[in-house]
Structure 1
Amino acid sequence: MLDLVAVLLALGLLMYLAYRGVTLLILAPAMALLAALLTGGLPILGAYTQIFMTNTGAFIVSFFPLFMLGAIFGKLMDDTGSAKSLAGSVSAWLGPERAIVSVVLCCAVLTYGGVSAFVVAFAIIPVAAALFRAADIPKRLMPGALALGAFTFTMSALPGSPAIQNAIPMPFLGTTAFAAPGLGIITGLVMLLLGLAWLNRRAARARAAGEGYGAHADGVPGPDVAMREHAQGEGFDIAELSGDPAPGKPHRDGNLPPVALAVLPVVVVIVTNFAFIRIVIPMLDTAWLAEPLFGATTIESVRGVWAVIVALFFAILLLIAGNWRRLADLRASLDKGADASVLPIFNTASLVGFGAVIAALPVFDLISETVLGVGGGNPLMSVAVSVSVLSAMTGSASGGMSIALDSLGPTFVDLAHATGVSLDAMHRVTAVASGALDALPHNGAVITLLTVCKITHREAYGDIFIVACAIPMLALAVLIVLTNLLGSF
């Protein structure tokens, strides 16, 4: 029991200190070694070099191409003005009276195409502020709309999403980004429709009470200490975030690409991903993957990652070719995009290393039995509980999912085979569970979003919790019930 308390103490300190802004690069190994020290289950230096660093490095080796290409793609979407063009077109099409759904759909289109939530926030907030002001909707509801569009259904539920939360299960389960497409679409619709219903109901109540947009100083604020690391980690200049755009940004002056050109890279990501999996991969002779030189693996373990790499690569080429004159400094955009991938992947990989050390402790057998016992023998329930709880504890969907799969992945696969559960369905449950409880107050994306919007937790977090935690949890329950009744589709 004391060993379990030591592990919970390490997790609690990880949550608290991450919320206080301590970098995970220091925090994750420190808390892992603290747990090892308090339990006495592992030699400290061995735990650090042979377990923590080995698993951290393995995650980086597996997923760095996705992080790097995704960050470059997002940076080019921002620097070419494509993100703002899409946002402006969607809002103009729906009209100012539908401000909430306009903001949600703008975020959804961009994140489904692979643009990071941080880039989306900075691209959409000026448009969102104008729409909310024109519709006289309280600004405190704006973070909830942004969170619904960027942190929920496009991140974890919709098939084909290049989001890392949809990519991590692929090598563990031998699945693709399009796993269980029917279940994913239904789950995504549950999140979208219930989230919109909640926000529109809140807006109607505010209108009935005579509450309007309010007096706010809009625009992108200067970054404070809490968000400075997040901003730099996504490739943004501090001067630019402070409202002083860097020179040579043509789209800042209104030279935006037409909406058809702006949306085309997003379409290319999804279509190329699907075509590579369904058409190209079956045509290839990949028997050489079984050789030790290539890791003695199978095509099922790598096809999903390969497809996303190819899709993002072609989308990046299209962005460059179609917006050559809008890119004031292509090398700078590529450099900043590549640099922006380093901090996020090292943060996530550090959490994976933390989880590996915890999993190596003798007390983890008790934790595993508890998690598997909650599911009552149902592997989908076990996956959902372990992933959602670990994501909540770490404040990271990708981190919590990686810890769970690294520690219990083979057990979950064996349970799925033993009970006849589809691995595609398990993939979708894993992805959705990762985004069900990760958006708690200490989550870095939540902190950044509220800071960018110049809104406090007290003013706006309640709505974020409903649309990004409570409703996704309900959608997760619906997903598990449908899978148990109908199987994977």
Structure 2
Amino acid sequence: MDIIAVVLSLVLLMYFAYRGVTVLVLAPLLAMGTVFVTGDFPMLVAWTGKFMPAAANYIQTYFPVFLTGAIFGKLMGASGCARSIARFISEKFGKERAIAAVIIATGLLVYGGVSLFVVVFAIYPIGASLFREATIPKRFLPAAIAAGAFTFAMTAIPGTPQYINTIPIPVFGTDIYAAPMIGLIGAALMCIGSIAWLNLRSSKAMAKGEGYGDHPDENIRIDGDVPAVWLAFLPIVLVFIINFVLTNGYFKSEAAVERYASFGGINGIWSVVVALSVAIVLLLVVFRKRIAEPNQEVFDGAVGGLLPIFNTASEVGYGGVIKSLAVFAGIKAAIMAIPGPPLVVVAVSTTLLAGIIGSSSGGTALAVEALGPDFLALATANGIDPGVIHRIMIMAAGGLDTLPHCGAVITLLAVTKLNHKQSYFDIAICTMAIPLIATTIVIVLATLGVV
């Protein structure tokens, strides 16, 4: 009965999230409902004694990343830098390679630290104009944006400052450059695979006479003054350089290790936070004349970072309650007994959780909260580099996370003024099928010793 209660709560979490119920309310309600059925402890204890400590610990650990990332993304949009970079790449690729231009431009912005939602708004008008000029059906545009935003640049490329890449760090003792070779290989597979798929699909549609389509309500504009492209790239380059120097230089030095030893050691997210903070200062100084209301933009960015972290923390709190149940020992044993190599266990369990929640970061956070120490022990027992577990986990989380109830997918379709029926099939191929294939391939390579 207890196991049925847990499974039912996960199913309800997925169903009601798809129906638009906020996870802020949904997660604690379902957690307490599960406890009510199992009777392990009182519901109020579940909320204040299990749910809240897990959620609060997540916020304590990751709030700096969410805050700086959200403000950076907001200022990149407000300053015109994101649009300048998108326009530059689109012009260089040309209309005949419009799909590749959209995917790569989106991926570059995401890898540069711009938040996924800011990227969607920045890329959409550029992509729509390119697709219209090339007469590519607009229904493929959401998949192109999603391929660049929700896959390789977010989860696979080593060094990406997106917050999902920082979630495993405290438990695994890794950094954002974990498992660079399999990350690069996985990223190439996702990027090339998505470009090839969408080129094939659009070519077939165009051969049948389908064009861009009539979309009178799209109301897009790409005109207007934007910064010189070299200036627009400057904040992103700065994030790259500071991240790399701090992660692979200063924070690995003997002086830094000694300096922070008495304070609990070096936190792997520090390099990301410092890099984004410096880039924020640069944006406010260099582009002060382009940002009409800097105080308001910083405020909006900061507030914009609150909902994502509280959503994810609520999912982590739910996981904190579930893992406190007596039945969880059996669930964990079943997960750890999944047939196949240890990396398959990590990938399957993480992508299933991401699919249930409809969030790659939420799925990763829940997997780390509930199973992280076990995954680390599994890696140690089998001689696997913890960095490989880190990379495989977040790549797998970027698989089933984009089921139809995924909030990012719903937002993307709303921005592009399309719907699931028109565009979801190709979104699913580019953000679920191809990433899971890429993850499978890199698991094989990692098993052979590639790191």
- TM tier, smaller: over 0.9
Local SS of the residue matching 2:249: helix
Identity of aligned residues (%): 47
Q: What amino acid sits opposite 1:255 in the alignment?
A: D
| Residue number in structure 1 paired with 2:419 | 456
State the 4+ residue runs in structure 1 displaced beyond 2 angstroms: 217-221, 282-291
Kept in 2: contact 1:173–1:413 (CA 8 A): yes
Q: CA deviation at 1:363?
A: 1.5
| Residue number in structure 2 paired with 1:353 | 317
Q: What amino acid sits opposite 1:415 in the alignment?
A: L
- 1:276 equivalent to 2:246? Answer yes
Kept in 2: contact 1:162–1:177 (CA 8 A): yes
Quote the Cα distance in structure 2 between the aligned partners of 1:481 and 1:42.
Answer: 43
Kept in 2: contact 1:18–1:442 (CA 8 A): yes
Quote the Cα distance in structure 2 between the aligned partners of 1:54 and 1:327.
Answer: 39
Alignment of 1:248-397 (within 5 A): 254-283=224-253, 284-287=255-258, 289-291=260-262, 294=263, 297-299=264-266, 302=267, 304-376=268-340, 378-397=341-360
Quote the Cα distance in structure 1 between the aligned partners of 2:304 and 2:49.
Answer: 28
CA RMSD of aligned residues (A): 1.5
Q: CA deviation at 1:81?
A: 0.3
Quote the Cα distance in structure 1 between the aligned partners of 2:231 and 2:52.
Answer: 43
| Residue number in structure 2 paired with 1:232 | none
Q: CA deviation at 1:6?
A: 1.0
Deviations 1:172-229 (A, max 9, x none): 10001001111100000000111111000001101111111111125369xxxxxxxx
Q: CA deviation at 1:421?
A: 0.4
Quote the Cα distance in structure 1 between the aligned partners of 2:252 and 2:315.
Answer: 35
| Residue number in structure 2 paired with 1:233 | none
Deviations 1:85-106 (A, max 9, x none): 0111111111112111111111
Q: Report the TM-score, using the length of structure 1 for normalisation.
A: 0.90
Local SS of the residue matching 1:360: coil
Q: 1:43 to 1:320 in 2, by over 3 A?
A: same
Quote the Cα distance in structure 1 between the aligned partners of 2:261 and 2:34.
Answer: 38
Kept in 2: contact 1:165–1:434 (CA 8 A): no
Local SS of the residue matching 2:289: helix
Deviations 1:295-324 (A, max 9, x none): xx332xx1x200101110111122122212
Quote the Cα distance in structure 1 between the aligned partners of 2:145 and 2:345.
Answer: 30
Kept in 2: contact 1:220–1:453 (CA 8 A): no
Q: CA deviation at 1:290?
A: 4.7
Q: CA deviation at 1:288?
A: 5.7
Deviations 1:412-443 (A, max 9, x none): 11111111000111111011011111010000
Q: CA deviation at 1:118?
A: 0.9
Local SS of the residue matching 1:183: helix
Quote the Cα distance in structure 2 between the aligned partners of 1:364 and 1:288.
Answer: 40
Alignment of 1:405-416 (within 5 A): 405-416=368-379
Q: What amino acid sits opposite 2:110 in the alignment?
A: T
| Residue number in structure 1 paired with 2:81 | 82
Quote the Cα distance in structure 2 between the aligned partners of 1:155 and 1:427.
Answer: 13
Q: CA deviation at 1:365?
A: 1.5
Q: How many residues align?
A: 450
Q: CA deviation at 1:328?
A: 0.8
Q: CA deviation at 1:41?
A: 2.1
Quote the Cα distance in structure 2 between the aligned partners of 1:161 and 1:379.
Answer: 25
Q: What amino acid sits opposite 1:219 in the alignment?
A: E
Quote the Cα distance in structure 1 between the aligned partners of 2:308 and 2:252.
Answer: 33
| Residue number in structure 1 paired with 2:19 | 20
Q: CA deviation at 1:286?
A: 3.6
Q: CA deviation at 1:253?
A: 6.8
Q: CA deviation at 1:162?
A: 0.5
Deviations 1:37-96 (A, max 9, x none): 112222211111111000000000000000000000000001000011011111111111
Deviations 1:381-424 (A, max 9, x none): 22111111100000011111111111111111111111100011
Kept in 2: contact 1:435–1:469 (CA 8 A): yes
Quote the Cα distance in structure 2 between the aligned partners of 1:395 and 1:443.
Answer: 4
Q: What amino acid sits opposite 2:244 in the alignment?
A: F
Q: CA deviation at 1:375?
A: 4.3
Kept in 2: contact 1:125–1:219 (CA 8 A): no
Local SS of the residue matching 1:435: helix
- 1:194 equivalent to 2:157? Answer no
| Residue number in structure 2 paired with 1:121 | 120
Q: Tell me which moved more, 470-479 or 17-26.
A: 17-26
Q: CA deviation at 1:337?
A: 0.7
Kept in 1: contact 2:55–2:313 (CA 8 A): yes
Q: 1:196 to 1:373 in 2, by over 3 A?
A: same
Q: What amino acid sits opposite 1:31 in the alignment?
A: L
Q: 1:148 to 1:218 in 2, by over 3 A?
A: farther
| Residue number in structure 1 paired with 2:156 | 157
Quote the Cα distance in structure 2 between the aligned partners of 1:75 and 1:195.
Answer: 27
Quote the Cα distance in structure 2 between the aligned partners of 1:270 and 1:219.
Answer: 35
Quote the Cα distance in structure 1 between the aligned partners of 2:327 and 2:418.
Answer: 41
Quote the Cα distance in structure 2 between the aligned partners of 1:411 and 1:471.
Answer: 28
Kept in 2: contact 1:73–1:316 (CA 8 A): yes
Quote the Cα distance in structure 2 between the aligned partners of 1:110 and 1:220.
Answer: 23
Q: CA deviation at 1:267?
A: 1.4
Kept in 2: contact 1:129–1:218 (CA 8 A): no
| Residue number in structure 2 paired with 1:401 | 364
Quote the Cα distance in structure 2 between the aligned partners of 1:387 and 1:381.
Answer: 10
Kept in 1: contact 2:95–2:130 (CA 8 A): yes
In the alignment, structure 1 segments of 5+ residues that lack a partner are 222-242, 244-251
